[in-house]
Amino acid sequence: MSDSVLDFALRAPKAELHMHIEGSLEPELAFALAQRNGIDFPFASVDALRAAYDFSNLQSFLDLYYACADVLRTEQDFHDLMLAYLRRAHADGVVRAEVMFDPQTHTARGIPMQVVFDGFLAGIAAGEKEYGISTGLILCFLRHLSEDECLATLEEAKPFMQHVLAFGLDSSEVGHPPSKFVRLYAACRALGKPVVAHAGEEGPPAFITEALDLLKVNRIDHGVRSVDDPAVLERVARERVPLTVCPLSNVRLCVFDDMRQHSLPKLLAAGACVTINSDDPAYFGGYLGDNIRAVQAAFNFDRTVWYQLARNSIDASFASTADKARWLATLDASLCAPGAASDSNGPLDE
């Protein structure tokens, strides 16, 4: 019965490694914050805003995403946004969240870096206390800006380095290759932090190669277009480069026509270290659990696949070795939990 496979997938302890906190801003919260901050929000209602979530590509989404982020003004706003996400993530079995944020989206509007960090850190502390969820911040640079602007942002963020888990690169991929940010990434790595980058979402497989060779990334965000070049796919699998795949995002942004066309099964068949993530859950049809449900509806994976996906997410996280061992032990125990062996849909039952 694939229902129990789905239950297992939803309940299994797992890490979410690719989620933009600004992309978890639900329309209801956006309206509440606009009202709280006295902002004249350019949408008539929550329904009117939701109706605008009809994207043809990445840029059509980003335009709305940056416009909505304007309601985030105070430390309390950033706190509320973070805590709302962590509540949802916890409900989907997330024990570790590595959360992306775009400081330039806020500092460009005159919001001090300190306000952004203080708000997010307060939300993370509350999430840890209420849900026991372990959270780290991935500071992302906007790749449509110049490398010098990104280097200036890195300088501005230096006083907060103890609160930064890793660095990332997001926004418009086409026209902004990884090769544009070689100096920036060298400076980030010199700080002793891991680095990730979006590559191979809308951009070609060559951008994945650039991110690996020039930016020396530890993970690739998306990477779903690696299947377009067998040599890139083979390399990603051989080197066990984690790919933070976001299925609902890829369908909503028309990277694939529908879920059944998604490259996920090909990535798994090639032996790639795939993880499942929600990207911008408020805009793309849901949180991690919704992504899992949509993938299962399309591909009906067995429990070994879901076990491997959860295991990959923990292995690929930047958490401590001790934390990873603890979560992996819980994951292994969940395989043997009552009910877990009651379906005949996976080799683990044999």
Active site residues: 201
Question: Which partner in ligand HPA, Zn ion, none is near 318 (CB below 5 to 8 A by kind)?
Answer: none
Angstrom distance (rounded) from CA 119 to CA 130: 17
9 counts as binding ligand HPA under rule CB under 6 A: no
Q: Which does 201 bind (CB under 5 to 8 A by kind): ligand HPA, Zn ion, none?
A: ligand HPA
From candidates 20, 88, 106, 252, binder to ligand HPA by CB under 6 A: 20
**CA–CA dist 9, 92 (Å, integer):** 9
Q: Is 201 in the site for ligand HPA (CB under 6 A)?
A: yes
| Cβ atoms 169, 181 nearer than 8 A | yes
Q: Does 249 bind ligand HPA (CB under 6 A)?
A: yes
How far is the C-alpha of 238 from the C-alpha of 232, rounded, in Å? 10
CB atoms within 10 A of CB 230: 11
3-state helix, strand, coil in the chain (%, to 5): 55, 15, 30
Q: How many residues bind ligand HPA (CB under 6 A)?
A: 11
d(CA 233, CA 269): 11
Q: Which residue is nearest to ligand HPA (CB)?
A: 170
| Minimum CB–partner distance for residue 100 and Zn ion (Å) | 7
Q: Does 279 participate in binding ligand HPA (rule CB under 6 A)?
A: yes
Applying CB under 5 A, which of residues 22, 279, 302, 343 lies at the interface with Zn ion?
A: 279
Site mask, Zn ion, residues 53-82, x = CB under 5 A? ------------------------------
Instruction: Give the position of tokens 């950033």.
Output: 78
Does 280 participate in binding ligand HPA (rule CB under 6 A)? yes
Q: In angstroms, rounded to a whole number, what is the distance separating the alpha carbons of residues 219 and 241?
A: 6
Of 73, 79, 96, 198, the residue at the interface with ligand HPA (CB under 6 A) is 198
Q: Is 173 in the site for Zn ion (CB under 5 A)?
A: no
Q: What are residue 166's phi and psi, to 5 degrees? A: -160, 170
Q: Out of 171, 226, 263, 278, which residue is the one contacting ligand HPA (CB under 6 A)? A: 171
Residue 176 or 303 having the CB closest to ligand HPA = 176
Q: Which is nearer to Zn ion, 26 or 279 (CB)?
A: 279
Q: Which does 23 bind (CB under 5 to 8 A by kind): ligand HPA, Zn ion, none?
A: ligand HPA
299-336 burial code (b ≥16 CB/10 A, e <16): bebbbebbbebbbbbbbbbbbeeeebebbeeebeebbe
Q: How far is CA 309 from CA 207, 255, 286, 317, in A?
A: 24, 21, 18, 12
Check residue 23 for interaction with ligand HPA (CB under 6 A). yes
Count the site residues for Zn ion by CB under 5 A.
1
In sequence order, what are the beta bridge partners of 242? 273
Asked if 150 and 188 touch (Cβ cutoff 8 Å), the reply is no
Asked if residue 98 binds Zn ion (CB under 5 A), the reply is no
Return the number of the residue (58 or 208) whose C-beta is nearest ligand HPA.
Answer: 58
Q: For the CB of residue 143, give the shortest distance to ligand HPA in the complex, in Å.
A: 8
User: How do strand 14-20 and strand 134-142 relate by DSSP bridges?
Assistant: unpaired
Strand pairing of 14-20 and 219-222? unpaired
Q: Which does 171 bind (CB under 5 to 8 A by kind): ligand HPA, Zn ion, none?
A: ligand HPA
Of 99 and 331, nearer to ligand HPA (C-beta) is: 99
Q: Which CB, 70 or 279, lies closer to ligand HPA?
A: 279
In terms of CB distance, is 210 or 279 closer to Zn ion? Answer: 279
Q: How far is the CB of 186 from ligand HPA (least distance, A)?
A: 22
| Strand ranges in the chain using DSSP code E only, listed in sequence order | 14-20, 94-101, 134-142, 166-170, 196-199, 219-222, 242-245, 273-276
Binding site for ligand HPA (CB under 6 A): 20, 23, 58, 65, 170-171, 198, 201, 249, 279-280
**Sites of contact with Zn ion (CB under 5 A):** 279
